[in-house]
Structure formats: structure tokens, C-alpha cells
Structure 1
Amino acid sequence: MNRIEKRPLTELGYNFVDAAYLPKGKDEYYLRDQQWGRQGVYRKLTAQELEILVRNDNTSDDWNNIMVSNEFNPQLVQHCHFYGMVRIGKLEPYFLEFRNLRLAVGLYNSTITSCDFGDNVVVHNVNFLSHYIIGNEVILFNVNEMETTDFAKFGNGIIKDGESEERRLWMELCNENGGRKILPFDGMLPGDAYLWTRNRDDQQLMDQFRILTEKQFDKRRGYYGMVGDRTVIKNCKIIKDVTIGSDAYLKGANKLKNLTINSRPDETSQIGEGCELVNGIIGYGCRIFYGVKAVRFVMASHSQLKYGARLINSYLGNNATISCCEVLNSLIFPAHEQHHNNSFLCAALVMGQSNMAAGATIGSNHNSRGADGEIIAGRGFWPGLCVSLKHNSRFATFTLIAKGNYMNELDIPYPFSLVMNDEHDNTLKIMPGYWFLYNMYALARNAWKYIDRDKRSNKIQYIEYDYMAPDSMEELLHALPLIEQAVGEAWYLQEKQEVPGAKTCIKKGQELLLHDPATVAKMNIYASKVENSNRKAALLKVHRSYPVLREIVNLYGVRNILAYLAKQPDATFAQLQSLAKTAKRGPWQNVGGQLMREATVEDLKNRIRKGKIGSWLQLHDVYKQEGAVYESEKLQHAIACMMHLHGVSADGFTPAFLKQCMEQSVYTMGNLTEGIYRSREKDYTNPFRKMTYSSQEEMDVVIGKLEDNGFIRQTIAGLKTYKKTVKEVSKKWAL
């Protein structure tokens, strides 16, 4: 049975906060007054104003509770019903126009309960407006219901005075069973969500994260919803417990409930037709259009949901877009793309710069034993057309997965690889270094594209977009011995000899890969411990990819040295040698798109445990501090990787060594630039790509000429600059 309460009409608009929750000596308006801060500019109605209001078919339960500013024009209030205390700012005989919607300033045909209005607002046909503070020049047009409850939390994972713990909002990320659940809060960054979802066995750390969230918000009841200046809300049905920043645009939404919608003049947020959003935080500059459904979610700044997308129990990182498809229980780092109605993502940690193709199904392998497990995918994760993956799986950075139904759990430690499921041979096939061999254009252009599309105005976290970075290079240096060992084992088996220990196989494999690649090309090489099955996992074309992967590590070192010299033109070789003496390798973590040394992350967590980081804002300051030193730490890491690759100690970092590394890097840059051009050229020369055009001229008009490709031209110019820089450094230091 529906519980419908019947109360005296004289109570409508009053007793917003139960007396039990009011501090001693405070009335129900004390928090409202703190929020608005303009109550001193209002006065009571004059007799003439009251007469005009009544003549204009307005009513109030008590006209003494209608407060107005000195510039109030009663002629601009018509056919309205007021309950409780209502304060109205300046009303002048103008109309406001926004995208061809032109409406007269004033309040018309609306029921208004205990609200405050700024100057020159437009309120037309709002059937029920209750307990809101409306800013200046706001437009509210055709809204069915817009109200705030006394226990409104605006999407934050807190509870108000007198509420039970069951009312708290949790967001169940990365895992369907709720084992990694976190409390959403306004201002949550990808790094916050990452740190909180990890280390679940560290109860002290988990408790501190909860304390940080509790401290950030007030538990008192009675906060009003707010609508910032110049926000436009039209043709919406239900808006409940939603606070909205300035300059937002909401049109045609079905239901918005328990939300914070951040917006400001330079980063406006928009919500469009048919959307239903419940229990969420929407960051600055977000776009949500056309039938989107989102529940228990956080959208970081400049992210987008479009065309019927479903986002549930998930965090969507900055500058990410999800269209059409469904995403559940996932933590997604910045620069994620997912555009297809038949792609599905569930119970995953996706570390950014990722792209989900049509038909890709990540997870949802329900069985009788329990919910889905987890998938962890490093930066650059790209499951291709009709890929189906099984929990639990893990993928190194920049893994491309070819079409196929992958029936077993995968653990792919090879970055920049292509993974294929050969059903005919019943073999898993992995091609390390695929991107450098066959699709350099996409790899390089994506890195440039993500930087170009990063629209954040407040870049608290330094997001790394370069494919040559500490996380990928550490994985690469881990993968090289795995390739060497696999080659060594294959050789001993081919020679019908007993396979020796790992060290001996690694040594033999490296010798063959460096000095006899022709022999390696003829061998069948298999990886171990990459799939939870008994079938073989073949490594393809390692004789070609192995030297390229080594060259990439060398290029990573030289590029960072040249970047350092560009900022420190007076640096000497002795200073560089000094850096080499302190340079160290070690594991790094991707903390919401920001790369940090694992030792730094451990120190950060320890400071949180001890209360030395006492708020989320302080943690965000730490992100900024780490971002400020990232380039210098990356430089030391790059130097250490380069020395490790060549087996050189700090004493061996000589001018001759640096000259050798730089000369090799020029060769590598030339090959990469050539690869960028050739991988794009295939789209112009492949006859199957050309067959839909009647002529070369038509093709040029439709897709543009290859020689006019701005990114390729930029890359070629970059190679010339790189060669020039290397030559200048060599001359300066007499290398």
C-alpha cells in the first residue's frame, strides 16, 4: 500500500528540518541563509505590490513570508502559488534568450515552496519547485518536479544525522561482488578511486579513506539544492536532490536524482533528452545526451555519455567517451573510447588510452559459483571486433586483441603486442611489438591525439599519454628476458637437448636473437604461463620485434636526455654523468593515469595511514607535487633503463657510450617515422580500400590526400628536428 500522508495545508513549505535535528537556537533556514548569503537585501512586500500580485492571480499561504529586493517588479509574477518563505531578487522588464528560446523575465504559472531567487530569473511552468536556491539569470522552463529533501546528499557517499548506515551510497568498482566498493564524492579523481579500490587487505588504509570522505561533508540536515547563475533547465520531468553549477544546460531529461552537476563558465556541462541519472557525480565540462542511463557513478571532467549508453557502478575518467554500450562495475582511467551498442564492459580496471570495438565483450562469464572476477588492462588496451574475454585476465600496456572467443583466462606480459586466438590450430598466438612493426601510425597518432583532446583546465593529476613511459618500459624490460628464455628453450628442444635452467636459456636466446635472427625465424617458439589452458601459446616474429623493442628502450633514454637538455641548455656532460650515478630502475604504478614510482605510492599510503594526509584536498596537492617532479624522475628512470639495456654501469656512461646511443636513436626515429608513413599508406594503396571510389580523385576528395596528412607532415618535420638536435648535442659535447 502506498503511504500517503495527510497534513494541514498551513504546514506546506515549513518544518523542512525536523526540530530534533536543529541545533539549539537555530531555525529551519539557518543553512539556507549560509548557502545564499543575500538575505539582507530583501524586504517585505508593499501594499501596492501585494495588490498587484493578487490581481495577477498569485496566492500565498502568508504574504508576510514573501520577501523581495528593492528592484522587484510585481507585474512580472503571474499565476503562481507560494508556500513558505520565498525570496525574490530583481525582476526587470526584459526577456532572456538562449539558443532561440526567448522568455520573459519573471515567475509564471508555477508552484513555489520555500525558495530563493537571484536577479532576473525566468521561471515558466514549473509545476512544483521546492527548497531550491536559484542564481542570477537562470531559466527554468517546463519542469514537472524540482525539489530537495532535508537529507539530500547530492550524490556523495555520506549519511545525514539520524540516517541508518543502509542509506549510504557505495560504488562497486572493478568487481561485481562489492569487494572493492568505495564511497563516491564530489571532486573524486581517477587516482583517488584507484588507490581506494586496491590494497583491500589494508584495513587501516581503507578506514582512513572513509574518514577523509566523511570529513569533507557536513552531516547536518537542511541544505538546499542550488542552481548556479545562467543555468538553463527546460522540458525536464523530475529533478530531485540535485545541485547544479553555473552555466549548465539541462534539456528534456526524464529523471535526475541525487546528483552533483559541476559546471562553470569555462567548463559548461550539458544533459540532454531522455536521460535518467541517479546517484552520481558529474564533473566539469561533461556531456550526457540521448537516452543515457547512469546509476551509482562518477564522471570525471570532460567525459561524455551518449546515445543510450548505460553506466552503472562505474567511474569514467577524464576526456573519455562512452556511446550506446553498457559498462558495469568498472574503473576507467582517462582517454577511454567506447562507441558501439554491442560492446560490453564489466568488472574491469582499464588504465586509459583504451578503445573498445564493436562486439567486444569484456566479462560477464556468470556460472553457478559466483559473480564475475576482474580484468586488469594497462594503458592502450584495445580489444578488437567481436572479442570475448574471460575473467580473471591481465594485459600489459598497449595490447591489441584480435577477433575471437577467448575461452580461458589470459595473462599477457608483453607490451605493444597483438594477441590472436587461432581456432583452426587451437593455438593462442602473441606477436610482441606488433604496433612498431605494422601499425605505427595509430600508436603515434593516438599519443598526440590524447594530448590535443585533454580539455581539463585544472590538471591536478599529470596524465601520461606517451607510449614510451616508465610503466611501458618497465614491462618491456620484463618481457625481453621472457622472449629470450622462450627462444633459448625452443633452440634446445629443436636440438633435442635437455632444456637447462632459465638463466642458461636466456643467455642462449639473447645470443640467437642478436646474432642469428635467421635461425630464430625458422623456430617454433612458445610462451608459458600466459593462458589457463594446456594448449600452446606461440610467440610470432620475435626475430623482427626483439631488436625493435630494444631500440625503443634506447630511444626512450635518449629522448628524455634531449628533453632535459632542451630545458637546461647550459647543462654539461658531467651533470648528466652525475644523474647516471643516481639513476635507478624500479616498478611504477599507473595511479589514475598519473605514473608514480611504486616507492612513492607506498610512501603516500603510509602518510595516509598515519593521518599526515588528512583530506582529499591534501592528497590532491600531493598529486600536484608528484606531477611537478615527474619529468626529472622519468629522466633518471630513462637513463637507468638505457644503461640496463646495454649492460653499462654508471662508470660506463661515457661520451662514447652516449654517442652510440644517440646515433642508434636517430636510426630508430627514422624507422618509426617511416613506419608511420607506411602504415597509413596502406589505406591508400590497398585495392580493397580503393574499390569503393570511382577514381583516385574521388578518393582524395573523400578521405584527403596522403601527402596532405597533417600528422604525417608533423612527424617528418619532427624527425628533421630530432636529427638536428642530436647533431648539435654531439658537437657541443664533442661526442
Structure 2
Amino acid sequence: MNHIEKKPLSQLGYQFVDDRYLPEGRNEYYLRDQQRGKETVHRKLKAGEIETLVRNDNTSDDWNNIFVDNDFDPNLVQHCHFFGMVRIGKLEPYFLEFHNLRLPVGLYNSTIASCDFGDNVVIHNVNFLSHYIIGNEVMIANVNEMAVTDHAKFGNGIVKEGEPESVRIWLELCNENGGRSVMPFDGMLPGDAWLWTRNRHDQALMDQFKNFTEKQFDKRRGYYGMVGDRTVIKHCNIIKDVTIGTDAYLKGANKLKNLTINSEAGAPSQIGEGCELVNGVVGLGCRVFYGVKAVRFIMASHSQLKYGARLINSYLGNNATISCCEVLNSLIFPAHEQHHNNSFLCAALIMGQSNMAAGATIGSNHNSRGADGEIIAGRGFWPGLSVTLKHNSKFASFTLIAKGNYMSELRIPFPFSLVVNDEHDNSLRIMPGYWFMHNMYALARNSWKYVDRDKRTDKTQHIEYDYLAPDSAEELLEALELMELAVGKAQMQQKEKDKAGKKAIQQTGKKLLLEENAKVARMEILGEQVENSSRKVMLLKVHKAYPLFRELIVLYAVKNLLQQAANLDIQSFPALQSYLKQCKRGPWSNVGGQLMKTEDLEELKQRIRKGKIGSWQQLHDAYRQLGERYDEDKLQHALACLLHLHQLSPKELTAAQFKKFLDQSVYTFGMITEGIYHSREKDYLNPFRQMTYENNEEMEAVVGRLEDNSFIQQTIQVLKAYKKQVKDLIKKWEL
């Protein structure tokens, strides 16, 4: 049975906060007055104004509780019913226009309970507007219900005074059984979500994160909803417990409940037709359109949901787009693209710069007796058309997965690889370095695109978009060792392998790869502990991938040195040798798209445990400080990787060797630039691509001339500049 309470009409608009939750000497308006942030300049109505209001078919339970600005025009309030204390700002005989919506300033045909209005607002046909503080020049038209409760939390995972713990909202990220749940809060960065989900065994850390969130928000009841200046709301059904920033645009939404919608003049947010959003936080500059359903979610700034997308129990990172698809229980780092109605993503940690193709199913085929499987994918994850993956699986950076049904768990440690399920031969095939060999244009353009499209106004976290970075470099070095081991095992007889240790096998493989590469090309090379099955895992083109990965490490080191040498006063080869003494290699972590040394991450966590970092804001300050050091940390890591690759100490590196590395980096950079051109050129030379056009002129009119491709031209110019940098360095350092 529905519990419907019957109360005196005289109470409507009053007793917003129960007396037991009011501090001594305070009334129900004390938090409302604090939120307004200014002393009242309103006055009571004059007798003539009341007479005009009554004549215009307005009613109030008590006209003494209506307060107005000195420039209030009572003729601009018509057919309204007021309950409780209402304060109205300046009303002048103008109309406001937004996107061809033209409405006169004033309050018309609305029921209003205990609200504050700024100057020159437009309130038309709002069936019930309750407990809101409305900014200046706000337009609200044709809304069924817009109200706030005394215990509104505006999407934050907190509990108000007198509420049971059971009402707290949790986001069940990365895992369907809730084992990695976090308390959402306005301002949560991808790094915050990652730290909270990945350290479940560390109870001290978990307690601190909960404490940070509790401290950030007031538990007192009685906060009003806010609508910032110049926000436009039209044709919406239900808006309940929602606070909205300035310059937002809400049109045709079905239901918005328990939300914070961040918006500002430089980064306005929009919510469109048919959308239903419940229990969440919408970041600055977000767009939500056309039938979207989002429940228990956070959208970081400048992210988009559209065309019926479903986002449930998930965090969507900055500058990401989900269109049509369904996403559950996932933590997604910045720069994610997911389109097409039949893409499904569940219980996953996707570490950014990712793209989900049509029909890709990442989840739902669990292999345990509970819904507790997980998938972790490094940067640049790209499951192709109709890919299905099984939990648990883990993928290195920039893994491309070809169409297929992958029936077993996977661990792909090779970055930049193509993974193919060969059903004909019943084998798994992996081509390390695929992107550099066959699709360099897409890899390079994506890195450029993400930088170009990063619209964040708050760049607290330094997001890495370059495909050559500490995380991928560490994976390159690991992949080199794995290839050496695999080639060594392919070369040796079983008896030899049984006698030899891992190091000896690896040395055998390395010698073959460096000295008899052509022989390696003819060998069958198998991967181990890659797939949870008994079938073969074939490593393809290892003879090409191995030297390529070594060249990439050299390029990674030299590029970063050229970028940072002047800043760090490395002006000669002896200065470089001296600098190399402080360079060391170690593991790195991707903390919400921000790369940091794992040792720095451990120190960060220790400071949190000990209370030296005592709030989310202080943690965000720490992110910013680490971001400021990132370029130098990356350089030190890159140089350490170079020394490790060639088994050199800083003293052993000679000027001649370093000149060789410089020349090699120019060659590699040139090869990459050439690969960018040729991988795009294939689209123009492919006769099957050409057959939909009558001639070359028509094709160029539709897709543009290859020579006019702005990205290709840009890469050519970057290569020229790089060559000049290297040439100048060789001359300056007298190498």
C-alpha cells in the first residue's frame, strides 16, 4: 500500500527541515541563506504590489513571506501560487531568447514553494518548483516537477543526519559483485577511482578514502538545489535533488534525480531529449543526448553519452564518448570511444585511448561460479568487430584484437600487437608490433588526435597520449625478453632445454635474433602462458618485431632527451654522462591516465595512510606536483631503458655510441613517418576502395587528395624538424 501522508495546507513550503535536525537558535532557512552567499537586499511587498498580484490571479499562503527586489514589477507575475518564503529579484519588461526560444521575463502559471530567484528570470508553466535557488537570467519552461528534499545528496555517496547506512550510493566499478565499490563524489578524478578500486587489501587506505569523502560534504539537512546563471531548462518531466551549474542546457529529459550537473560559461553541459539520469555526477562540458540511461555513474569533464547509451555503475573518463552501447561496472580512463548499438562492456578497467568496435562483447561470459570476473586493458585497447572476450583477461598497451570468439582467458604481454583467433588451425596468433608494420597512420594520428581534442579546463592530472611512454616502453622491454626466450626454446632441443636454465635459453634466443635474424623468420615460435588452453599460441614476424622494438626504445630515449636537454642544462656529452648517473629504470603505473613511477605511487599511498595527505584536494595537489615532474621522470626512465637495452653503464657509453643512437633514431623516425604515409596510401591504391568512384577525380573530391592530408603533412614537417635537432646536437656536442 502506498503511504500517502495528509498534512495541513498551511505547512506546504514550510518545515523543510525537521526541528530535531536544526542547530539550536537556527531556523529552516539558515543553510539556504549561506548558499545564497550574500546578505538579503529584498523587501516586503507593498500594498499596491499585492493588489496587482492578486488581480493577476496569483495566490500566497502569506504575502508577508514574499520578498522582492526594489526593481520588482508585479505585472510580470501571473497565475502563480506561492507557498513558504519566496524571494524574487529584479523583474523588468524584457524577453529572453535562447536557441529561438523567446519568453517574457517573469513568473507565469507556476506553483512555487520556498525558492529564491535572481534577476530577470523566466519561469513558465512549472507545475511544482520547490526549494531551489535560481540564478540570474535563468529560463525554466514547461517542467512538471522540480524539487529538492531536505536530505538531498546531489549524487554524492554520503549519508545525511538520521539516515541509515543502507541509503548510501556506491559505484560498483570493475567488478559486478561490488568487491571494488567506491563512494562517488563531485570532483572525483580517474586517478581517485583507480586508487580506490585497486587497493582493496589495504584497509588503512580504504578507510582514508572513505574519510576523505565524508569530510568533503556536509551531513546537515536542509541544502537547497542550485541553478546557476543563464541556465536554460525546458520541457522536462521530473527534476529532483539536482544541482546545476551556470550556462547549462536541459531540454526534454524524462527524469533527472540525485545529480550534480557541473557547467560553466567556458564549458557548458547539455542534457537532451528522453534522457534518464539517476544517482550521478556530470562533469563540466558534458553532453547527454537522445534516450540515454545512466544510473550510479560519474561522467568526467567533456565526456559524451548519446543515442540510447546505457552507463550503469561506471566511471567515464574525460573526453570520452559512448554512443548507443551498454556499459556496466567499468572504470574507463580518458579518451575512450565506443559506438554502435551492439557493443557491450562489463566489469572492465580500460586504461584510455581505447576504441570499441561494433559487436564487441567484453564481458558476461564469466568462467567462475560468481559474477566476479574482470578484464584489464592497457592504453590503446581496440577489440575489433564482433570480438567476444572471456574474464579474466589482461592486455598490454595498444592491443588490437581481430574478429573472433575467444573462448579462453588471455594474457597478452606484447604491446602494439594484433591478436587473431585462427579457428581453421585452432591456434591463437599474435603479431607483436603490428601497428608499426601495417597501420602506422592510425596509431600516430590517434596520439595526435587525443592531444588536439583534450578540452579539459582543469588539467590536474597530466594525461599521457604518446604511444611511446614509460608504460609502453616497459612492455617493450618485457616483450623483447619474452621473444628471446621463445626463440631460444624454438631453437633448442627438449633435452637441451631441460638442462639449460631460463637465462641460457634467453641468451640463445637473443644471439639468434641479433645475428641470424633470417633464420628466425623460418622458425615456428610459440608463446607460453598467453592463453588458458592447450592449443598453440603462434608468435608471428618475431624477426621483424624484435629489431623494431629495440629501435623504438632508442627513439624513445633520444626524443625525450632532445625535448628536455635545454631545460635540464644538458649541453654537452660529458654533461649527459653525468646526468645518466641519476637515471634508473623501474616499474610505472597508469593512475587514471596519469603515468607515475610505481615508487612514487607507493610513497603517495604511504602519505595517505599516515594522514600527511588528508583530503581529496590534497591528493589532487599531489597529482599536480607529480605531473610537473613527469617530463624529467620520463627522460630519466627513457635513458635508463636505453642503457638497459644495450647493457651499458653510464661510464661505458661513448660519444661514438651515442652518435650511433642519434642516427638510428632519425632512421626510425623516418621509417615511422614513411609508414604513416604508406598505410594511408594503401586506401588510395586499393582497387576495391576505388571501385565505388567513377574515376580518381571523383575519389579525391570525396575523400580528398593524399598530398593534401594535413596530418601527413604535419608529420613530414615534424620529421624535418627532428632531423635538424639531431644534426644541431651532433654539431654542438662535437660527436
- Verify same fold: TM over 0.5: yes
Instruction: Tell me what 1:635 maps to.
Output: 635
Instruction: Tell me what 2:648 maps to.
Output: 648
Instruction: Tell me what 2:695 maps to.
Output: 695
Secondary structure of residue in 2 paired with 1:193: helix
Q: How far apart are residue 500 of structure 1 and its match?
A: 2.7
Cα displacement string for residues 589-630 of structure 1 (whole angstroms, at most 9, x for unaligned residues): 000000000000000001001111011000000010000000
- Provide the C-alpha distance between the structure 2 equivalents of 1:382 and 1:336, rounded to a whole number of angstroms: 10
Aligned pairs (5 A) from 1:584-663: 584-663=584-663
Q: How far apart are residue 650 of structure 1 and its match?
A: 1.1
Moved more, 449-458 or 561-570: 561-570
Moved more, 46-55 or 559-568: 559-568
Runs of 5+ consecutive residues of structure 1 not aligned to the other structure: none
Q: How far apart are residue 574 of structure 1 and its match?
A: 2.8
Assess if the C-alpha contact under 8 Å between 2:489 and 2:497 holds in 1.
no
- Provide the C-alpha distance between the structure 1 equivalents of 2:387 and 2:712, rounded to a whole number of angstroms: 30
Cα displacement string for residues 275-330 of structure 1 (whole angstroms, at most 9, x for unaligned residues): 00000000000000000000000000000001000000000000000000000000
Instruction: Tell me what 1:454 maps to.
Output: 454
The reply on whether 1:425 has 2:425 as its aligned counterpart is yes
Cα displacement string for residues 240-275 of structure 1 (whole angstroms, at most 9, x for unaligned residues): 000000000000000000000000000100000000
Q: How far apart are residue 660 of structure 1 and its match?
A: 1.0
Secondary structure of residue in 1 paired with 2:358: coil
- Provide the C-alpha distance between the structure 1 equivalents of 2:650 and 2:553, rounded to a whole number of angstroms: 17
Instruction: Tell me what 2:53 maps to.
Output: 53
From the superposition, tell whether residues 497 and 465 of structure 1 become closer, same or farther in structure 2 (CA, over 3 Å): closer
Instruction: Tell me what 2:350 maps to.
Output: 350
Moved more, 362-371 or 194-203: 362-371
Aligned pairs (5 A) from 1:253-272: 253-272=253-272
Assess if the C-alpha contact under 8 Å between 1:557 and 1:639 holds in 2.
yes
Matched to 1:652, the amino acid is E
- Provide the C-alpha distance between the structure 2 equivalents of 1:372 and 1:273, rounded to a whole number of angstroms: 35
From the superposition, tell whether residues 616 and 496 of structure 1 become closer, same or farther in structure 2 (CA, over 3 Å): closer
Secondary structure of residue in 2 paired with 1:154: coil
Matched to 2:539, the amino acid is L
Q: How far apart are residue 158 of structure 1 and its match?
A: 0.2
The reply on whether 1:75 has 2:53 as its aligned counterpart is no
Instruction: Tell me what 1:183 maps to.
Output: 183
Assess if the C-alpha contact under 8 Å between 1:381 and 1:400 holds in 2.
yes
Cα displacement string for residues 532-589 of structure 1 (whole angstroms, at most 9, x for unaligned residues): 1111100000011110111000100000110013545773333322221110000000
Secondary structure of residue in 2 paired with 1:265: coil
Matched to 1:715, the amino acid is T
Matched to 1:248, the amino acid is A
- Provide the C-alpha distance between the structure 1 equivalents of 2:570 and 2:350, rounded to a whole number of angstroms: 41
Runs of 4+ aligned structure 1 residues displaced above 6 Å come to 494-497
Assess if the C-alpha contact under 8 Å between 1:492 and 1:498 holds in 2.
no
Instruction: Tell me what 2:93 maps to.
Output: 93
The reply on whether 1:334 has 2:334 as its aligned counterpart is yes
Q: Percent identity?
A: 73
Assess if the C-alpha contact under 8 Å between 1:365 and 1:372 holds in 2.
no
Cα displacement string for residues 76-118 of structure 1 (whole angstroms, at most 9, x for unaligned residues): 0000000000000000000000010000000000000000000
- Provide the C-alpha distance between the structure 2 equivalents of 1:332 and 1:570, rounded to a whole number of angstroms: 38
Assess if the C-alpha contact under 8 Å between 1:376 and 1:394 holds in 2.
yes
Instruction: Tell me what 1:380 maps to.
Output: 380
Secondary structure of residue in 2 paired with 1:485: helix
- Provide the C-alpha distance between the structure 2 equivalents of 1:191 and 1:496, rounded to a whole number of angstroms: 48
Aligned pairs (5 A) from 1:64-143: 64-143=64-143
Assess if the C-alpha contact under 8 Å between 2:531 and 2:537 holds in 1.
yes
Matched to 1:681, the amino acid is E
From the superposition, tell whether residues 722 and 306 of structure 1 become closer, same or farther in structure 2 (CA, over 3 Å): same
From the superposition, tell whether residues 688 and 496 of structure 1 become closer, same or farther in structure 2 (CA, over 3 Å): farther
Instruction: Tell me what 2:42 maps to.
Output: 42
Cα displacement string for residues 180-229 of structure 1 (whole angstroms, at most 9, x for unaligned residues): 00000000000000000011011111000000000000000000000000
Aligned pairs (5 A) from 1:553-568: 553-567=553-567
Secondary structure of residue in 2 paired with 1:233: strand
Secondary structure of residue in 2 paired with 1:405: coil
Matched to 2:269, the amino acid is S
- Provide the C-alpha distance between the structure 2 equivalents of 1:451 and 1:308, rounded to a whole number of angstroms: 28
Moved more, 645-654 or 564-573: 564-573
Matched to 1:192, the amino acid is D
**Aligned Cα RMSD in Å?**
1.2
Instruction: Tell me what 1:63 maps to.
Output: 63
Runs of 5+ consecutive residues of structure 2 not aligned to the other structure: none
Assess if the C-alpha contact under 8 Å between 2:249 and 2:271 holds in 1.
yes
- Provide the C-alpha distance between the structure 1 equivalents of 2:367 and 2:384, rounded to a whole number of angstroms: 25
Q: How far apart are residue 654 of structure 1 and its match?
A: 2.7
- Provide the C-alpha distance between the structure 1 equivalents of 2:39 and 2:8, rounded to a whole number of angstroms: 28
From the superposition, tell whether residues 498 and 170 of structure 1 become closer, same or farther in structure 2 (CA, over 3 Å): closer
Instruction: Tell me what 1:173 maps to.
Output: 173
- Provide the C-alpha distance between the structure 2 equivalents of 1:39 and 1:32, rounded to a whole number of angstroms: 11
Aligned pairs (5 A) from 1:681-692: 681-692=681-692
Instruction: Tell me what 2:216 maps to.
Output: 216
Secondary structure of residue in 1 paired with 2:119: coil
- Provide the C-alpha distance between the structure 2 equivalents of 1:253 and 1:577, rounded to a whole number of angstroms: 63
Moved more, 358-367 or 20-29: 358-367
Matched to 1:531, the amino acid is E
The reply on whether 1:673 has 2:658 as its aligned counterpart is no
- Provide the C-alpha distance between the structure 2 equivalents of 1:344 and 1:450, rounded to a whole number of angstroms: 23
From the superposition, tell whether residues 82 and 591 of structure 1 become closer, same or farther in structure 2 (CA, over 3 Å): same
- Provide the C-alpha distance between the structure 2 equivalents of 1:83 and 1:496, rounded to a whole number of angstroms: 90
- Provide the C-alpha distance between the structure 2 equivalents of 1:440 and 1:493, rounded to a whole number of angstroms: 38
Instruction: Tell me what 1:536 maps to.
Output: 536
Instruction: Tell me what 2:475 maps to.
Output: 475
**Number of residues of Structure 1 aligned to a counterpart in Structure 2:** 735
- Provide the C-alpha distance between the structure 1 equivalents of 2:422 and 2:178, rounded to a whole number of angstroms: 35
Instruction: Tell me what 1:310 maps to.
Output: 310
Secondary structure of residue in 1 paired with 2:236: strand
Cα displacement string for residues 390-422 of structure 1 (whole angstroms, at most 9, x for unaligned residues): 000000001000000000000011111111100
Assess if the C-alpha contact under 8 Å between 2:367 and 2:391 holds in 1.
no
Q: How far apart are residue 366 of structure 1 and its match?
A: 4.5
Instruction: Tell me what 1:33 maps to.
Output: 33
Assess if the C-alpha contact under 8 Å between 2:367 and 2:390 holds in 1.
no
Secondary structure of residue in 2 paired with 1:296: strand
- Provide the C-alpha distance between the structure 2 equivalents of 1:526 and 1:467, rounded to a whole number of angstroms: 26
The reply on whether 1:485 has 2:448 as its aligned counterpart is no
Matched to 1:5, the amino acid is E
Secondary structure of residue in 2 paired with 1:656: helix
Matched to 2:310, the amino acid is R
Assess if the C-alpha contact under 8 Å between 1:419 and 1:428 holds in 2.
yes
Assess if the C-alpha contact under 8 Å between 2:366 and 2:391 holds in 1.
no
Moved more, 39-48 or 362-371: 362-371
Cα displacement string for residues 23-43 of structure 1 (whole angstroms, at most 9, x for unaligned residues): 000000000000013452011
Matched to 1:345, the amino acid is L
- Provide the C-alpha distance between the structure 1 equivalents of 2:230 and 2:473, rounded to a whole number of angstroms: 48
Moved more, 30-39 or 360-369: 360-369
Instruction: Tell me what 2:583 maps to.
Output: 583
Secondary structure of residue in 1 paired with 2:40: helix
Instruction: Tell me what 2:365 maps to.
Output: 365
From the superposition, tell whether residues 512 and 317 of structure 1 become closer, same or farther in structure 2 (CA, over 3 Å): same
From the superposition, tell whether residues 497 and 100 of structure 1 become closer, same or farther in structure 2 (CA, over 3 Å): closer
Instruction: Tell me what 1:298 maps to.
Output: 298
- Provide the C-alpha distance between the structure 1 equivalents of 2:12 and 2:363, rounded to a whole number of angstroms: 50
Secondary structure of residue in 2 paired with 1:280: strand
- Provide the C-alpha distance between the structure 2 equivalents of 1:10 and 1:650, rounded to a whole number of angstroms: 83
Q: How far apart are residue 647 of structure 1 and its match?
A: 1.2
- Provide the C-alpha distance between the structure 1 equivalents of 2:652 and 2:455, rounded to a whole number of angstroms: 43
Q: Scaled by the length of structure 1, what TM-score is found?
A: 0.99
Assess if the C-alpha contact under 8 Å between 1:489 and 1:499 holds in 2.
no
Matched to 1:391, the amino acid is H
From the superposition, tell whether residues 548 and 116 of structure 1 become closer, same or farther in structure 2 (CA, over 3 Å): same
Q: How far apart are residue 46 of structure 1 and its match?
A: 0.1
Moved more, 362-371 or 424-433: 362-371
Moved more, 110-119 or 30-39: 30-39
From the superposition, tell whether residues 676 and 428 of structure 1 become closer, same or farther in structure 2 (CA, over 3 Å): same
